[in-house]
Amino acid sequence: MLVARNIHVSLGTSRVLDGLSLSALPGQITCIVGPNGSGKTTSLRAITGDVPYTGQITLGGKDIATLKPRELAALRGVLPQASTLAFPFTVNEVVQIGLHHGTSGDHDGITRAALRRVDLLKYADRPYQDLSGGEQQRVQLARVLAQVWEPVVDRTPRWLFLDEPVSSLDIAHQLQVMRIARDFAGAGGGVVAVMHDLNLTAMFADRVILLAGGACLATGSPAEVMTSPLLSRAYGCDLQVGRTPPPGTPFLLPHLAALAAE
Amino acid sequence: MVAMSDTLPATPRRTRLERARRLHVVLALLVGLVALISLNVGATGFSLVNVIAKTLRGEALSRMESVVLWDIRLPRLVMGLLVGAALATSGAVMQGLFRNPLADPGIVGVTAGGMLGATLAIVLGGMLPAGLLAMTGGTLVPIAAFAGSWLTTILLYRVSTRAGRTSVATMLLAGIAFTALAGALVGILIYKADDSQLRDLTFWNMGSLAGANWVKLASAAPIILAALVGAMLLGRGLNGLALGEATAHHIGIPVQWMKNGAILAVAAASGAAVAVSGGIGFVGIVVPHLLRLATGPDHRALLLNSALLGAALLVAADMIARVVIAPAELPIGIVTAVMGAPFFLWILLRQRGVVDL
């Protein structure tokens, strides 16, 4: 499992994470939610080793600070919020860059399968830069999927860390990406996603971590965390959480919040 | 366009990487061909065919033939090959490192740093204690050029990188500032130089392979070869870096280690090349760019192809330099600039929207 204990991160003079502790289990989708500036992305970047932090983060019992980049790459894939590409690589080539040498034999097969999974196999030979923003983000997801194609290797679960994976996607592809995450978790892998969309979070998360002010405000199932009082407090806005008919998934309508504000 | 369906069999179409790897062979043959022609071309009436025929018949070469072949053309050829490979590979590595197709040791000031180092060695080297001088022997100038290039590369990278992001605009501007500063310092040294040093420096500034001899080669070749071998190992890392430093780290590349390796390779290769041949520009931009157009940006093949095409191109340019105003010769830096500068402008015009400064 993933365990972060007492994480502090300062960027410049401001303290972004203030003693954050969280954990996530393989076989589940864990969503990190919270208002802008609450430290969602920073907490993910600490977990992926991209920002210096104090505290301890372990993945499968191993301190990530002691693992080499190569060992980490065999254990987890990371989808950043925004990606850049410097040279005119094709879609196919971008996915292959993510493939770790030696982890799997059939690179071409995995590349094709990953692109098919995100519905972009037809663009395999197109220049990446010619694609739209949403398509590029799906190519990046395919790259990350290809990197950790088997959710479990030698009984060790692998992880997907996704930073706002659906932010620039249309609704069909939002659902598609969340289903990919659910399948990965269903096959035994771990998924940790930073999410803005609370409704998708309620639909797909097994566990929700609600951040506010750089610390954890609440943790639990969507039904436990996504309540009107907790969300209203976290987002500083009067929110009314509704419930679908059984299974009773929580949902939020901006309309209700707007009415409450008037 | 008709969408390719999933049901199509995994077609045996050749990927760009495979084509790029085939290009290795083609370019290697090209290098061989250019090298043979180069040995045959020159101011004296020396024919390689005659020499080969004589050798096959077991006859001794005339003194003239032996001198032209062994002491003039062969070291010059080897120097051209090494310098061309060094410049083109440095360009490709630097472009990968800075994530920009316009980065080049000549443009961002690395060459100027090497030149400053070499000038310092030429003009002030005599003031070193005799013991130290004897220890460095003929290698003082290349070592100084290498040190100058290395320090400049590190300085540029530090100045233009903030929080893991390298600003190309800052890098180019810092390069301009550094080139100017190095030029001024070189100017001061020239002012202090004596006549023979002046002659050395002037020819050297324009870039030339004319001074090639086995002693110079012995000092530069090991550095260049080591840097080239090192550079060839950077392919996968540079590919990862194209996705940004964070992502490169995520896919398992030891980013800091790799960047240091790249900086060292660029500094060593371009520093040593500058030391023995002076200011030869544009090879580092033109060669990788052409190859990217032909077979894509995958560095695993691009680096070796750059080395090969750079070697062939520089030897060809040297032939032009030797032939156009024979029996005198043009500095090769003029030839590469005349061919390369318009090409560089063409790149700029073609991707006006992409180069954001």
Give me the DSSP letters along chain A.
-EEEEEEEEEETTEEEEEEEEEEE-TTSEEEEE-STTSSHHHHHHHHTT-S--EEEEEETTEEGGGS-HHHHHHHEEEE-SS----S--BHHHHHHHTPPTTT-S-HHHHHHHHHHHTT-GGGTTSBGGGS-HHHHHHHHHHHHHHHT-SSEETTEE-EEEEESTTTT--HHHHHHHHHHHHHHHHTT-EEEEE-S-HHHHHHH-SEEEEEETTEEEEEE-HHHH--HHHHHHHHTS---EEE-STTT-EEE-HHHHHHHH-
Q: Is the CB of residue A87 less than 8 Å away from at least one CB of chain B? A: yes
Residue B76's CATH number? 1.10.3470.10
Nearest CA in chain A to B249: A69
What does the pLDDT look like over A2-38, one tens digit per residue? 999 999 998 878 888 988 999 999 999 999 999 998 9
3-state secondary structure B26-64: HHHHHHHHHHHHHHHCCCCCCCHHHHHHHHHHCCCCCHH
Minimal CA separation from A69 to chain B, in Å:
4
Structural domain includes residue B267: yes
Cβ <8 Å between B244 and A121: no
Nearest CA in chain B to A70: B252
Number of domains in chain B: 1
Is the Cβ–Cβ distance between B21 and B304 less than 8 Å? Answer: no
Alpha-carbon distance B311 to B308, whole Å? 5
From chain B, the residues in CB contact with A70 under 8 A are: 252, 254
Minimal CA separation from B236 to chain A, in Å:
8
Is the Cβ–Cβ distance between B78 and B276 less than 8 Å? Answer: no
From chain A, the residues in CB contact with B239 under 8 A are: 97
Cβ <8 Å between B10 and A112: yes
Cβ <8 Å between B254 and A108: no
Looking at residue B328, the DSSP 8-state letter turns out to be S
List per-residue pLDDT tens for chain B, 357 residues long: 344 444 444 444 578 888 899 999 999 999 999 999 988 877 666 677 777 788 778 777 788 778 888 888 899 999 999 999 999 999 999 999 888 887 888 777 888 888 898 888 878 877 777 766 666 666 677 778 878 888 988 888 888 877 666 666 787 788 889 989 998 998 888 888 888 778 777 766 667 787 778 888 888 899 899 999 999 999 999 999 999 888 999 999 998 888 888 988 988 898 888 888 877 888 998 899 989 988 899 999 999 999 999 999 999 999 988 888 877 788 888 888 888 888 878 877 776 544 443
Which residues, given as ranges, of chain A have pLDDT below 50? Answer: 102
Structural domain includes residue B276: yes
Structural domain includes residue B259: yes
Q: What is the pLDDT of residue B274?
A: 84
Structural domain includes residue B165: yes
Mutate to test the interface with A, among B2, B171, B250 (most CBs of A within 10 A): B250
Structural domain includes residue B15: no
Is the Cβ–Cβ distance between B269 and B89 less than 8 Å? Answer: yes
Structural domain includes residue B142: yes
Cβ <8 Å between A85 and B240: no
Structural domain includes residue B57: yes
Q: Is the CB of residue A106 less than 8 Å away from at least one CB of chain B? A: no
Cβ <8 Å between A97 and B240: yes
Which residues constitute the domain of residue B227?
4-8+32-351
Q: Is the CB of residue A70 less than 8 Å away from at least one CB of chain B? A: yes
Mutate to test the interface with B, among A87, A123, A144 (most CBs of B within 10 A): A87
Q: Provide ipTM, 2 decimals.
A: 0.90
Q: What is the pLDDT of residue B90?
A: 94
Nearest CA in chain A to B163: A51
From chain A, the residues in CB contact with B252 under 8 A are: 69-74, 100
Q: What is the pLDDT of residue A98?
A: 79
Alpha-carbon distance A197 to A182, whole Å? 16
Q: Is the CB of residue A97 less than 8 Å away from at least one CB of chain B? A: yes
Residues 6+ apart with CB under 8 A from B343: B282, B285, B286, B289
From chain B, the residues in CB contact with A101 under 8 A are: 236
Cβ <8 Å between B241 and A90: no
Cβ <8 Å between A88 and B254: no
What does the pLDDT look like over A224-234, one tens digit per residue? 999 999 999 99
Structural domain includes residue B25: no
Q: What is the DSSP pairing of strand A62-63 with strand A54-59?
A: antiparallel
Q: Is the CB of residue A237 less than 8 Å away from at least one CB of chain B? A: no
From chain B, the residues in CB contact with A160 under 8 A are: none
Q: Could you count the other beta carbons within 10 Å of the beta carbon of residue B351? A: 11
Minimal CA separation from B206 to chain A, in Å:
32
Residues 6+ apart with CB under 8 A from A205: A29, A30, A31, A193, A195, A222
H or E segment at B166?
A: strand B165-166
